[in-house]
Structure 1
Amino acid sequence: MTLLELLRARTWRAFDVDDSGRVLAGWDNSGSVQLVEIAPDGTRTVLTDLPGSCSGRYLPGERMVVVQHDEGGNERGQLSVLDPEVPFALAPLVRDPAFIHSLAEVLPGRVVYRTNRRNGIDFDVVVRNVTAGLEEVVHDGGGNVTEVSLSPDSRYVLVGVIGAQPMSTQLLLVDNLASTRDGVVRELTGADEHARFENVHWLPDSSGLVLTTDRTTDRTVVARLDLDSDELTVLVAGEHDTTAWLSPDGSTLLCEANADGWSSLTLTAVDGSGVREVVLPVPGVVGGRFPAPVFSPDSATVAISFTAPGEPGSVLLLDVATGAVRTVVGEPAEGAVSPSSHLVPTPDGEQVPCHVYAPTQPTALAGSSVVNVHGGPEGQSRPEFSPVVQALVAAGHTVLVPNVRGSVGYGKRWYSLDDVRLRLDSVADLAALHEWLPSQGLDPARAALWGGSYGGYMVLMGCAFQPERWAAGVDIVGMSSLVTFLENTSPYRRAAREREYGTLAHDREFLTGASALSRIDDLRAPLVVIHGANDPRVPLSEAEQLHAALSARGVECELLIYPDEGHGLAKRANREDAYPRALDFLARHLAG
C-alpha cells in the first residue's frame, strides 16, 4: 500500500455498548473521529459531523449520547447530548470554551465530569443532573484529577489525583455523609507513595474497590482495596503488567496481560478464580491508544477496541457467558509488516526493548533506518497499526520502535530510570540503539530519528547531543527547551510535568542543560518540524524558537504549522500534507 492509502485506512474504536447490543463507535471516515451507532444487525448510523474529533458514552437507561468535543485540537473539552434517533442535533450540556470539561462517568440521569473552570489550574469534580440541569461539586480539593468514580450507593466519590512522585497517583475518598474516621475526605493512599493506582472500579456493595497498582510489586497487578480495613489484596498477577475491568454486577473481571506490548485476555471471577482465555482474531493490542474495553450495563457483553500491525482499528464484541469474540466492524490493511522483538544492550548493563519492522522487498533505501520514539515519557510503543511505520518500511527503511528507559509496560523500575536528573540516561539509549544497527545489517551513517511530543524532544536531543550519529530527524510537537516548555505549557499541566522533569525553582540549571537548545551549535542534522498552532501541551513557541535558531545557523529546518491542530495531527487532510513531505525528506537524506 502507498502512504496515502495507509493514511486513508479507516479506523474504528468502541466507546460504549448498551444492553440491546448497540455499539457507540468512533470512525474516522470523514478525516477525524466521529460517532457512529452500530445496530445489532450491523446497520450504521452516523451521529456527528463536527469539525474535529469527538468521543461519547451512552446515558444508561436512556436513548441519549453524551458527546465530548473541543475546537481545533485545543483539548478544552465541551459536553453536549444528542438523541441517536436524531443524528447531528447536539444540545449543549456543559459549555465554557475557556476551560476544560472532560467526561469522567455516566450514570442513570447524571454525568460526572472534571473541570478546571474554578481557577484554570486545579480540577474539580462535578455531578450534573442531565434533565434538571442541577450541578453538585463533589470535590474541589485541588490537584490534577485522573480518576473519578461514584460508588453504587452514591455515598462515596473516589478521586485519583497526580501524586508527588513521578508516575504516582493518590486516591482520595469523599464521603457524602461526612462520617468516615478521617473526615469528609479520606486519604486511601499517601501523597508521597511512589505507586500507581488506576483503572478503579467499585464493588457492587460499595465495600471496596478493584484497581490496578504496583504499590508492592514491580509489575502492575489487579487488587482489591477494602474500605473498612484499607487492606490491599492481590487478585490477579503475573510476569507482565496486568490490568482488569470489572463488570457492573461485580461478578467478572476482564484481565489484560501486556507482554512486550502484545495483549492477552482472560475472563475470571472477581476473586481471580475460574480463568478462561479470550481468543483475539490475531495477535494485537486491546485499547492501547484507543478507548479501554467497556462492559454493557447488564454485564453480558464487552465492547473492545482492537488494533494490530495489520488492523487499523476494529470493534470487537465479547460474550461474557461463552468467552466468544466476534468482529463487529474493521477494515484490515493488506500487506502490513509485523515486528520482531529484541533487547538492545546499553553500556551500563540495561537492555532496551525494541520492535523492529523490516522491509520485505529491497529498495534503493535498503540499509537505512528510522528510530521512532514514543511520546510520554510515560508511554509505551505497542504493536499497533501505524501508517507512518508501515509507509517507512514500504519505502525501504528498517524501522526501530524502542521503549527507552522511562517507558511503561516493563515495570516500575524501568519507568523510573529517567526521572528528573536521570533524563540524559534515556537520551543515551538512543546512542545504544545506534551502536546496535550494524548487528542488524544496517548502515549507521544512514540513520534518522522520528518522534512526537516527548518523542520529538528525544529526536532533538539525539541530534544535538549525538550529532555524529544521526543523519536527519522528524520532530512532531516536541520540546526544544524544558525550561521554556515548563514556563509556557498550560498551567494545569505544569505541576504534573515538573514531577517528571524537575522544577523550575530547583532544577533550572539541569533543565537548561537537558535541552536541545543548549547545544544548538552542535545540531547539524536536517530537520522537519511539525506542530499544531493550538497545542496546549507543548506550545508552538517550542518549534518556532528551534526553527529560528537553526535557520540563523544555516541548518536545514522545515517548519510545518497547522492552524487547526493541537498536540499532534488529528485531521487526515493535515496528515496527508505533512507525512508525505516528511517521508520525501527522509528518502532524500538517507539515500545510499
Structure 2
Amino acid sequence: MNSISKKVYALTLSMAMSIALIQPAVQAAEAVKPTAAVSESIVSKATQTLQQLGYIDGTTDGMKETATPITRAEAAIILQRVLELDAPATLTGFADVLSDHAAAPAIYALKQGDLIQGNTKGYAPDAPLTRAQMASLFTRAFELKDNGIQVIYSDADQIPAVHSNDAVRVKQHFIIEGNAFHAKQAVTHGEFASALYLALGLDVKKAGVTPLEDFFKQPAQAGFQMSPDGKHLAYMEPWNNRMNIVVTANGQDKPVRITSETDRSIASFAWATNDKLLYAKDAAGDENYHLYITDIDGKNSKDLTPYPNTRAMLVDPLENIPDEILVSMNKRDARVFDVYRINIKTGEAVIAAENPGNITGWMTDHEGKIRVAISSDGNVSSLLYRDAENQPFQPLLTTDLGDTFVPVMFTSDNKNLYAVSNLEQDKMAVVEYSLATKKVTRTLFENKDVDVSNVIPSKEKGKILAAVYETDKVNYEYFDNEFKTLMQDIKAKVPGKEVGIISTSDDGQALFISYSDKSMGTYYFYNSKTGKLDKLADTAPWIDETKMADMKPIMFKSRDGLDLHGYLTLPQGATASNLPLVVLPHGGPWARDSWGYIPDVQFLASRGYAVLQVNFRGSTGYGKKFLEAGNKQWGKAMQNDLTDGVNWLVKEGTVDPKRVAIYGGSYGGYAALAGLAFTPDVYAAGVSYVGPSNIFTLLNSLPPYWESGRNLFYERVGDPEKDKELLTAISPLFHVDQMKAPLFVVQGANDPRVKQAESDQIVEALRKRGVDVPYMLKMNEGHGFANVENQLDLYRAIEKFLNRHLMQ
C-alpha cells in the first residue's frame, strides 16, 4: 500500500450522555444453636450436586444429616476432596489430632496448604464449625478477593477481628445473605453444602457454555489505523491487562508495542504524522482526558495537555500542517472549551479561538482554519460563521429545541457546507447549505422512516461519499460510484457480515472491519484492483460464533399507539416459551440500541435468558416527534414502553411473567430503579449500573462542561423549580417503599456524570428499611467500568445475582 490519501471519516451526530482461620482450641460451647437459614430446596440441590461430583459421601463427612452442625473435622475432609490436596507424609502438629484420627490426613493437608492455622494446643476437630470459621476457611481455600461490594453487618462488632475481612468476602461472593452475620453460630451440614456449592460457582456453571471471561476479555487486537503514507499500521492490544498501542510496518509481522500503560487503558489514538501518534487517556474514570504524543518507536512520549482538572479533545489533526494540531480544552474555564493550536514537538499551546461562554462546537475548513462554531444555551442554538480567522463570527441560522443542523464539512471550494439537518421536517437529512444566501440549496438524501445517523465524507474529494441511516441494521445511500463499487465488492467478499470502512487509498486498497451479531469483528485489507483479501486479525478469536444467539429485530405497539422498535435475543436452541427475561434499556437516554455483537446480550443469552432491548420514546434515530415524545417522560411513558415490551412477550407466551429482571447502565440504570419502584409487580430483580436515583441531585451535579446544556435537561427531563412535583414523582429515591424485588447497585467512585451519591442514596434508603442491597463500588472507576478485572467482578456478581432470583 503506497499511500493513504483518501481517508474516510465517520461522523457521529449524537454523543452518548450519557457497577487466621480457626483460633486454636475453640470450644464447642462457643457455638450457638444452628438456624434454618438456608432453604431446603437449595440444600437439596447443593447436596445432590456435590455428591454427584464425588465431593461428599454422607458417611465420613456426616452429610446425610443436613440439619445437624458440621464439625471442623468433617469440613476438612470435604475440602481436601474438593481441592485435591495430598496429605503430608507426617501427620503431626495438633495434640488432639493423632495420626490415626479419621480426619487426620485431611486436617494436615489443609494445614500444609496454609488453609488452617493452629498450634500444638489443639485443633478441636469435633467442635462445630462456626460461621466465622467457615468464612475464613472458604476465603483461603477459594482465594476470594475483594470485589468491591460494600458489606455492612448489623452485628459486625461481634465478629472476631481475625475473621472480619473474611466475613465480608463470603458475602461479597453471594455465599451468605442477610443483615446479620451470626459469627458464633454453628454451621449445619446443609449450610456448609450450600456455601460450598456457591463458592465453587456450581449455581451458575453449565456444561458446554462459553466461559464468562470470554465475553468480557479485552480484544485480542483492535482499532487498526494506517499511517498517512500507508507504510505503517497501528492498533491496540492488551498488555498487563490494559490496552496499549502497537505499531508494525505494513506487510511485515514485526510488531512493536510503543506504550506501556498499566493503570488505565488508552481510550483512543490517531496518527499525527507518518512517524508520530496521538493518544488519549484519563485517570481512574474521571473523564479528564489528556492528549499524548509519541514517536512511532515509542520514544519521546509527552503529555501535550498536562493541566489539572482539564478535559482535552482533538478538533483537527491538521494533516496538511506539519507539527501542529487543534485541541479544545476547558483549562481556562471548567465550563467551556477553548481551541488551542499545539506544537506536537515542543508542546507549546497557543489559543486559537477563545470561547465567549456559549460555544459548544467548532469546525475547520479544508485549510485547517476555524470558520464555523455552534453556540447554544441548551434550547436555542445558532450556527456561527466567519470568512477568515481574523474576523468575528456572525450568526447564519438559529434553531429551537428539537431542530437540528449539524455541519459536517465544507464543500471542496470552502464556500458551502454539507450538513445533517431536520429543519422544517421530522427526519434528519443530508443537505448542502449556502453560506452566501443562508439557505439550504439542495437535499442530498432523506429517509421517510428514520434519521440519517452518520455520513462518510471525503476531505480529498470535497464531497460526501455516502449517507448512513439505521433501520434494523445500518444502511448506506451512496453519492460516489467509486465508493459504492468498493463497498459492494467488499460485502461480496464477507457474505453474511456487515462492513465498516476505516480508510481507503489512491491505489485501490481499503482497510475495513466486518462484524455481525455473533462476531465482534475481523479486520481486513482489500485490494480492489486485484480482488485480493488479506485478513489482519480477529478481534475476539476465542468466541465461537456457532454458540452465539441471533439478535432479531422486533416491532410492537405501545399502549398509546406508537410503533416501538428494538431487538430480542433468545437463548440459542431454546423454545420461545416461558423463558426468563432480562430487559436491557439503553443509556442516554438520547441514544439508541443497534444490531451487532454486544457482550452483555450474548452473555445473558448464553445463561438461558431472553434479552429485550427497546428503543423507547426519547431514543434517537426515529425522528423529531419520536424524540420529543420522551420529553418529561422519565419514569412515565418512557418506562411504560419497556413495560409494554414485557407484556407483549408475556402475551406471546415467550416469557415467564414471574421471572423478569431489568438491568441497565446510566439512564438504563435509572430505568432499572424506576422499574422496581413504579412497576414493582413486573420485575423479580433489578441491576442499576451507574444509574441516577434522585433527579434533583442528578441535575444539581452535572459536570461543569455540561452547563451549556442545562436548559436541555430542564426541557427534556424537568426543571427542579417549575417541575418539582414531577421530579419528585419520577425519582426512585422517594419511592423506595414501593420496591419489593431484590436490587443490585453498581457504581464508580469517580463518575463525573452520575455521582457516587446517586447510588449511595438509594442503597442507604433501602438499608434503613432493612433491605439488604448488594452494592459494588469501585474506587478506580467512573461512568462504567473500564478495567477488565473490575468488569469481570461485575459480571460474575450479576451472573450469580440473576441466577439466584430468576433461575432458582
The TM-score, its normalising length taken from structure 2, stands at 0.66
Partners of 1:536 and 1:318 in 2: CA distance: 42
Matched, 1:542 2:758: yes
Deviation at 1:269, TM superposition (A): 2.8
- Residue deviations 1:134-159, cap 9 Å, x none? 412314122362x4331123444322
Matching residue of 1:425? 637
Equivalence map 1:158-307=2 (5 Å) = 158-162=372-376, 164-165=378-379, 170-179=382-391, 184-192=392-400, 194-198=402-406, 200-232=408-440, 233-239=442-448, 240-242=450-452, 243-250=454-461, 253-265=464-476, 267-269=478-480, 277=488, 279-280=490-491, 281=494, 295=503, 303-304=511-512, 307=515
Matched, 1:483 2:704: no
Deviation at 1:588, TM superposition (A): 0.9
Q: Is the 8 A contact 1:68 1:103 kept in 2?
A: no
Higher share of residues assigned helix: 2
- Residue deviations 1:286-336, cap 9 Å, x none? 67xxxxx65469696665565432222444557688999765322352122
Letter paired with 1:523 = M
Letter paired with 1:10 = P
Matched, 1:136 2:351: yes
Matching residue of 2:801? 585
Partners of 1:321 and 1:266 in 2: CA distance: 23
Which residue of 464, 471, 482 maps to 2:684? Answer: 471
Partners of 1:161 and 1:325 in 2: CA distance: 46
- Give the structure with higher Rg (CA): 2
Partners of 1:34 and 1:199 in 2: CA distance: 33
Deviation at 1:163, TM superposition (A): 5.7
Matched, 1:554 2:770: yes
Q: Is the 8 A contact 1:26 1:36 kept in 2?
A: yes
Give the direction of change, closer, same or farther, for the CA distance of 1:26–1:371 in structure 2 (3 Å limit).
same
Matching residue of 1:22? 232
Report the secondary structure of 1:407's partner residue.
Answer: coil
Give the direction of change, closer, same or farther, for the CA distance of 1:569–1:530 in structure 2 (3 Å limit).
same
Letter paired with 2:549 = V
Partners of 2:571 and 2:515 in 1: CA distance: 21
Partners of 1:496 and 1:284 in 2: CA distance: 38
Partners of 1:235 and 1:504 in 2: CA distance: 42
Partners of 1:315 and 1:196 in 2: CA distance: 34
Q: Is the 8 A contact 2:420 2:428 kept in 1?
A: yes
Q: Is the 8 A contact 1:64 1:82 kept in 2?
A: yes
Matched, 1:103 2:314: yes
Which residue of 293, 296, 299 maps to 1:84? Answer: 296
**Gap regions ≥5 residues in structure 2:** 1-209
Letter paired with 2:419 = L
Q: Is the 8 A contact 1:156 1:175 kept in 2?
A: no
- Residue deviations 1:22-55, cap 9 Å, x none? 3433345654433233542163333322221321
Letter paired with 1:414 = F
Which residue of 453, 456, 460 maps to 2:669? Answer: 456
- Residue deviations 1:215-240, cap 9 Å, x none? 24333222222222223221133344
Matched, 1:48 2:259: yes
Matching residue of 1:290? none
Which residue of 337, 356, 365 maps to 1:123? Answer: 337
Deviation at 1:73, TM superposition (A): 1.3
Higher normalized contact order (CA 8 Å, seq sep 6+, divided by chain length): 2
Matching residue of 1:309? 517
Matching residue of 2:647? 435
Identity score, percent: 25
Matched, 1:501 2:717: yes
- Residue deviations 1:514-561, cap 9 Å, x none? 211121110121111111111111101101111111111123421101
Give the direction of change, closer, same or farther, for the CA distance of 1:531–1:117 in structure 2 (3 Å limit).
same
Give the direction of change, closer, same or farther, for the CA distance of 1:36–1:262 in structure 2 (3 Å limit).
farther
Q: Is the 8 A contact 1:447 1:472 kept in 2?
A: yes
Q: Is the 8 A contact 1:13 1:313 kept in 2?
A: no
- Residue deviations 1:410-451, cap 9 Å, x none? 222222211235762101112201211221421111100010
Give the direction of change, closer, same or farther, for the CA distance of 1:86–1:27 in structure 2 (3 Å limit).
closer
Larger mean CA deviation between 220-229 and 401-410 belongs to 220-229
Partners of 2:721 and 2:393 in 1: CA distance: 30
Partners of 1:538 and 1:587 in 2: CA distance: 28
Deviation at 1:495, TM superposition (A): 4.3
Which residue of 567, 590, 599 maps to 1:355? Answer: 567
Partners of 1:72 and 1:26 in 2: CA distance: 20
- Residue deviations 1:344-403, cap 9 Å, x none? 22110012212011012459x961000101100111111232222111111111111111
Q: Is the 8 A contact 2:362 2:370 kept in 1?
A: no
Partners of 2:356 and 2:528 in 1: CA distance: 39
Partners of 2:396 and 2:703 in 1: CA distance: 29
Report the secondary structure of 1:341's partner residue.
Answer: strand
Larger mean CA deviation between 525-534 and 365-374 belongs to 365-374
Partners of 2:327 and 2:536 in 1: CA distance: 29
- Residue deviations 1:95-129, cap 9 Å, x none? 11311111222013221111111221112222223
Partners of 2:525 and 2:801 in 1: CA distance: 42
Give the direction of change, closer, same or farther, for the CA distance of 1:491–1:307 in structure 2 (3 Å limit).
farther
Deviation at 1:266, TM superposition (A): 5.5
Which residue of 583, 588, 593 maps to 1:371? Answer: 583
**Gap regions ≥5 residues in structure 1:** 288-292
Q: Is the 8 A contact 1:405 1:415 kept in 2?
A: yes
Q: Is the 8 A contact 1:531 1:560 kept in 2?
A: yes
Matching residue of 1:411? 623
Deviation at 1:467, TM superposition (A): 0.5
Give the direction of change, closer, same or farther, for the CA distance of 1:386–1:444 in structure 2 (3 Å limit).
same
Q: Is the 8 A contact 1:284 1:384 kept in 2?
A: no
Letter paired with 2:537 = V
Larger mean CA deviation between 438-447 and 3-12 belongs to 3-12
The TM-score, its normalising length taken from structure 1, stands at 0.89
Partners of 1:251 and 1:554 in 2: CA distance: 64
Q: Is the 8 A contact 2:665 2:688 kept in 1?
A: yes
Deviation at 1:492, TM superposition (A): 1.8
Letter paired with 1:433 = G
Partners of 1:397 and 1:481 in 2: CA distance: 30
Partners of 1:526 and 1:20 in 2: CA distance: 55
Larger mean CA deviation between 66-75 and 434-443 belongs to 434-443
Partners of 1:171 and 1:408 in 2: CA distance: 22
Partners of 1:310 and 1:273 in 2: CA distance: 26
Q: Is the 8 A contact 2:402 2:624 kept in 1?
A: no
Q: Is the 8 A contact 1:248 1:295 kept in 2?
A: no
Give the direction of change, closer, same or farther, for the CA distance of 1:542–1:257 in structure 2 (3 Å limit).
same
Partners of 1:263 and 1:29 in 2: CA distance: 33
- Residue deviations 1:72-104, cap 9 Å, x none? 1111011110001236x5212111131111122
